[in-house]
Each structure stands twice: as structure tokens, then as C-alpha cells.
């Protein structure tokens, strides 16, 4: 893949990776993931000696909120991209000892076939991940471990304990406007808050 840029969000461990599309009169071609461009990249030290071993896809209607999800054993890093539609992608710092513990960062991802590049968000281990759909959306993400339901923890996105102070005004406006239309699974609706996480049996495995 031809990486154009790697930028950090307000919590620098969470990255936005821009990569090129190669165009001609027929359309475009792009390499979405090439391991040696990611795991050997000095700007992505969290991926050193890791492999992307599972790829997932979800289609969600407008207003759907998926997450916030964290997995331990194996510890997952995720690369998230939008194939169709538009989402706000979230990462919540839940690492024991982190100076940004409990803070949320976000980035708007959208599918735009007219651009000469594409973007994806890298959510490293230690962050609970989720997204909300601003349109009907098709989302794909690759991960560095096989899904293990026994190691998964769901955090409540609507918990008042989450610190949203790092979010931009435009993203906060999007969240406010979509709240009346939120669609959540029973599992996500029953997600834990940060106080409960502090005594969770998996918490000590998620360190800064």
C-alpha cells in the first residue's frame, strides 16, 4: 500500500492513515492492507511484530451505534475503514495508568470514490472501539487477533463518566443531533461504565 500520511488524533496512539488510490479512466485500484508497510513502519510502533489475522464487515442503518468494545486475550488492534456511507469512529482510553484514561477521541470517516486517497483509523489495544452511523454505512475492519467473546468487554457509550472534552465541536454536534435516533444492541445498551471497569477481572491486563 502507498501510505501518504499518518496523523495522530488528540490521543497520539490513535492514528489516521491515508493511503493512495491509483486511477485511470476505468476507476481506481488500491492496496488496503499490506503488512510490511504497516508492521515495519516506524510511525506505528504498536504494530511491531503483529499480524492482521481477521477481517470483519458490518452494514448498519443510520443512527446505529456499535460499541464501545475492547478485547483481551488476544489483545486486538483494529484498522477501520468505510466502504459505503459515513460514520464517526470512536476510541476510548481504558488503559490502567494512562494520563488520558476515560477520554474519548473520534474521527469522521466517509466513503468518497472521487478522492485519490482513502483513510482508515488505527485503534490500538487499550482503547475501546465503536462507531455511530451518520448514514446507512458499510464498515470493514481488520484486527490483529481472533475474536474471543470471553475476553470482550462492552463499555456504555452513553455513560456520563466518559470524558468527551477532546472531541471537536463539529463531532459533538453530530453526536447531539443523532442521539434521538440511536439504535443499540442489548449488549451495548448494557455496557459497563468506567467505575465498574476499575474492578473488572480483565482490567489489570490493559496497562499504559
Catalytic residue ranges: 69, 141
Three-state DSSP class for residue 169: helix
- Identify the burial level of 191 via C-beta atoms within 10 angstroms of its C-beta, where 0-12 means exposed, 13-18 middle and 19 or more buried: buried
Work out the burial of residue 145: count CB atoms within 10 Å of its CB; fewer than 13 is exposed, 13-18 middle, 19 or more buried.
buried
Q: Which three cell numbers stand for residue 78?
A: 483494529
What residues form DSSP beta bridges with 78? 123, 143
Helix, strand, coil content of the chain in percent (nearest 5): 15, 40, 40
Q: Is the peptide bond before 88 cis (omega within 30 degrees of 0)?
A: no
Strand order, beta sheet including 15-20: 3-8, 15-20, 117-123, 78-84, 137-143, 54-60
Q: Report whether 104 contacts 162 (CB < 8 A).
A: yes
Amino acid at each position: 500500500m502507498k501510505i501518504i500520511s499518518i496523523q495522530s488524533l488528540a490521543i497520539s496512539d490513535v492514528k489516521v492513515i491515508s493511503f493512495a488510490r491509483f486511477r485511470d479512466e476505468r476507476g481506481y485500484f488500491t492496496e488496503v492492507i499490506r503488512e510490511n508497510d504497516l508492521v515495519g513502519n516506524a510511525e506505528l510502533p504498536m504494530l511491531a511484530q503483529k499480524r492482521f489475522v481477521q477481517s470483519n464487515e458490518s452494514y448498519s442503518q443510520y443512527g446505529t451505534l456499535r460499541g464501545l468494545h475492547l478485547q483481551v486475550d488476544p489483545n486486538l488492534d483494529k484498522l477501520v475503514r468505510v466502504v459505503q456511507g459515513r460514520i464517526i469512529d470512536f476510541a476510548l482510553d481504558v488503559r490502567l495508568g494512562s494520563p488520558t484514561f476515560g477520554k474519548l477521541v473520534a474521527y469522521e470517516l466517509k466513503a468518497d470514490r472521487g478522492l485519490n486517497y482513502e483513510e482508515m483509523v488505527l485503534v490500538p489495544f487499550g482503547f475501546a472501539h465503536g462507531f455511530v452511523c451518520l448514514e446507512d454505512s458499510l464498515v470493514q475492519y481488520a484486527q490483529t487477533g481472533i475474536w474471543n467473546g470471553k475476553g470482550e468487554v462492552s463499555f456504555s457509550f452513553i455513560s456520563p463518566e466518559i470524558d468527551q472534552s477532546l472531541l471537536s465541536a463539529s463531532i459533538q454536534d453530530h453526536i447531539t443531533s443523532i442521539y434521538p435516533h440511536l439504535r443499540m444492541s442489548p449488549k451495548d445498551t448494557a455496557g459497563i461504565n468506567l467505575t465498574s471497569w476499575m474492578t473488572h477481572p480483565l482490567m489489570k491486563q490493559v496497562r499504559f
